[in-house]
Amino acid sequence: MRPLSEKGPIVVHCSAGIGRTGTYCALDYATDKITAASPLSIPKVVKEIRNQRLHSVQSMLQYLYLHVCLLEYLIITKATNRTPQTRKFQRDYEKYLKKFNQRTAK
């Protein structure tokens, strides 16, 4: 993600406006909290997004994706380092995603 403008709100929308859109908005909100050095709780971020748009971040896959993106953001911004634990988390996510895609392709 990179900001295109500092002015005004962003407009994001997927088909129903809750799954992918909610995940993206939660990611944007969480990165803003990180940038502001505010305490971050991903469940609280999702709850706050859901208070504005019911059922946002619809699936476990989207919830995990949010974690993966935030971890990568923390690594890129040098807030944390890539460690054996972060690599394992990312590998486990990739395995889960591969299994998910195999199940849904049938």
All structural domains of the chain with their residue ranges: 20-104
Whether 1 shows a pLDDT value over 60: the answer reads no
pTM, two decimals, is 0.80
The one catalytic residue among 12, 14, 16, 79 = 14
User: Is residue 14 among the annotated active site residues?
Assistant: yes
Q: Which of 63, 29, 66 is nearest to 48 (CA)?
A: 29
Q: Which of 72, 50, 64 is nearest to 96 (CA)?
A: 64
Residue whose entry in the numeric block shows the structure tokens 């392709």:
105
The model's pLDDT over 46-87, given as tens digits with 9 standing for 90+, comes to: 999 999 888 889 899 999 999 999 999 999 999 999 999 999
Whether 7 shows a pLDDT value over 90: the answer reads no
User: In this structure, what is the dihedral angle of CA atoms 22, 23, 24, 26, given to the nearest 10 degrees?
Assistant: 80
Residues contacting residue 55 through CB under 8 Å, at least 6 positions apart: 18, 22
